[in-house]
Amino acid sequence: MLRIGDYEFSSRLLLGTGKYPDFDIQKEAVAVSGTEILTFSVRRMNIFEASQPNFLENLDIAKYTLLPNTAGAKTAEEAVRTAKLAKASGLCDMIKVEV
């Protein structure tokens, strides 16, 4: 069991969602992994632009805890700015910080 704050997970696997060749392979990888936590880069996925392709549209996101990350941030200020964007999306209340 993994506990993060008030969250409890039976799987300890945090699965990144980047670098899959297409959405079908990504969806299959998520399904067979058994993960309950999906991480994604806020910078690589335009979560505010409905016209852009988005892996979240291809998943039943109610099954997962989404954990956006600040990949690509080079400074603490950039990481904080990216974290605020993730929070504003309404998709999550946690974030994985990467600098």
Closest residue by Cα to residue 30 from 44, 13, 47: 13
- Residue whose structure tokens are 């409905």: 50
Active site residue 27: no
- For residue 50, the one-letter residue type is A
Q: Please, how many CA atoms are within 13 Å of residue 9, restricted to the half-sphere of its CB?
A: 17
What is the rounded distance in angstroms from the CA atom of residue 76 to the CA atom of residue 70? Answer: 10
How many residues appear in the chain? 99
The catalytically annotated residue of 19, 63, 87, 96 is 96
The set of catalytic residues is 96
